[in-house]
């Protein structure tokens, strides 16, 4: 799946201590949530959307410590 703002592929990040997460434009949040739900992947969305330097807002989808980041990335990559 491509980030609508950057035109780069959405990427599961593994840095940090809370577990893997995905940063998505708010405009794509519902689409990504639906994709994760259809694939029975556990997630929660951070409470606040962030906008920096006047750019479109982004949201963080947290996958949790036990998440299989590779499997989530595979699901994201399956959407073109």
Whether residue 1 is contained in a domain is answered as no
Q: How many helices, marked H, and strands, marked E, lie in the chain? A: 2, 4
How far, CA to CA in Å, does 80 sit from each of 38, 44, 63? 16, 23, 22
Using CA atoms, how far apart are residues 32 and 61, in angstroms rounded to an integer?
A: 9
In a domain, residue 3? The reply is no
pLDDT in tens, 11-25: 999 887 778 999 999
Interatomic CA distance for residues 76 and 80, integer angstroms: 9
Residue 32 has pLDDT above 90, yes or no: yes
Question: CATH number of the domain that 31 lies in?
Answer: 3.30.70
Structure tokens at 25: 């434009």
Q: Is the pTM of this model over 0.75?
A: yes
Query: Based on the structure, what is the number of domains in the chain?
Result: 1
- Asked whether residue 38 is domain-assigned, the answer is yes
Structure tokens belonging to residue 35 = 């994709």
Rounded average pLDDT over 24-49: 95
What is the reported pLDDT for 41?
96
């Amino acid at each position: 799946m491509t980030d609508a703002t950057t035109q780069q592929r959405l990427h599961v990040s593994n840095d940090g201590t809370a577990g893997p997460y995905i940063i998505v434009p708010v405009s794509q949040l519902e689409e990504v949530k639906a994709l994760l739900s259809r694939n029975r992947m556990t997630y929660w969305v951070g409470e606040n959307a962030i906008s920096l330097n006047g750019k479109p807002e982004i949201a963080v989808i947290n996958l949790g410590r036990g998440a299989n980041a590779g499997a989530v990335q595979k699901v994201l990559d399956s959407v073109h």
